[in-house]
Amino acid sequence: MRPTTRHAERHRTERIGWLRAAVLGANDGIVSTASLLVGVAAAGASPDSLLVTGAAGLMAGAMSMAAGEYVSVQAQADTESADIGRERAELADSPAAEMQELTQLYIQRGLDARLAGQVASQLMSRDALAAHARDELGIADLLKARPVQAAFTSAASFAGGALLPLVVTSLAAGTAVIPLVSATSLVFLALLGAMAAGVGGASAWTGAGRVLFWGALAMGITAAVGALFGTTVA
């Protein structure tokens, strides 16, 4: 017998689940915390108040990200589970119709009728439910929703991102808070965008540019609002 060749090639789509949650969390942590600190500093808050505000924003944001990711991804997982359950019932009730349905899918993708029937037959004999989940519903194990993973990844990455402007604030003095937090946060965002784009196989410059634009816009608006109201945080 000829030795079986293992397919060792790895694809970037394998990272999509945790990468999306990690990038979203870290980006949100930097932007929201830096914007909060810049806005409150522009309103005339004391250094101690800034640190308390930043720490509270970090904790609240991390918990919010975890809860939001879990709920949204769990909703996706519930939908996938319901679709798979319905497909399981259809396979039990009318396997011949399901075989024909799978055959038609392969014909639409370019196989001739005879080969499409052979492929559908072999795949269904091995694991009919997996074949229909993958090729009819578009649910692959690699891309299945993982709520707990998404929640923990988002919370941890948010906290890590939020910690960066908070540390800069603790090291800054007086009126230097706004320019220092703004400048360093934009640098952090550019690095994050470039790294995320690189991991995903996209242009680092494009990734950096996207997050820089939205980060600068968010901090500019909150600084303007803080300066407009000029309310000192006690």
Q: How much is the average pLDDT of 129-142?
A: 80
Q: Which of 20, 10, 23 is nearest to 188 (CA)?
A: 23
CA 102: distance to chain centroid? Answer: 32
Long-range pairs for 220-226: beta carbons < 8 A, 24 or more residues apart: 221/35, 222/35, 222/36, 222/38, 222/39, 222/42, 223/35, 223/38, 223/39, 223/42, 223/178, 223/182, 224/42, 225/39, 225/42, 226/38, 226/39, 226/40, 226/41, 226/42, 226/43
Residue with tokens 């394998």: 14
CA atoms within 13 A on the CB side of 138: 2
At residue 57, does pLDDT exceed 90?
yes
State the CB neighbour count (10 A cutoff) for residue 173: 8
How many whole angstroms separate alpha carbon 88 and alpha carbon 137? Answer: 12
pLDDT band at 184 (very low <50, low <70, confident <90, very high): very high
**What is the per-residue pLDDT for 1?**
39
Structure tokens at 51: 């640190």
Q: Where are the beta strands (DSSP E) in the chain?
A: none
State the CB neighbour count (10 A cutoff) for residue 65: 27
**What is the per-residue pLDDT for 11?**
47
How many whole angstroms separate alpha carbon 145 and alpha carbon 77? Answer: 5
Lowest model confidence (mean pLDDT) among 64-73, 124-133, 194-203 = 194-203
pLDDT tens by residue, 109-130: 889 999 999 999 998 988 888 8
State the amino acid at position 5 in one-letter form: T
Q: What is the dihedral sign for C-alpha 39, 45, 48, 52?
A: negative
pLDDT tens by residue, 139-150: 776 566 688 888
At residue 232, does pLDDT exceed 50?
no
pLDDT tens by residue, 154-176: 899 999 999 999 999 988 866 68
* Residues 224, 26, 19, 63, Cα dihedral to 10°: -110
State the CB neighbour count (10 A cutoff) for residue 77: 17
**What is the per-residue pLDDT for 44?**
83
How many whole angstroms separate alpha carbon 17 and alpha carbon 159? Answer: 19
User: Looking at per-residue confidence, does 17 or 124 come out higher?
Assistant: 124
**What is the per-residue pLDDT for 210?**
86
Q: Which of 23, 63, 35 is nearest to 157 (CA)?
A: 23
- pTM summary value: 0.70
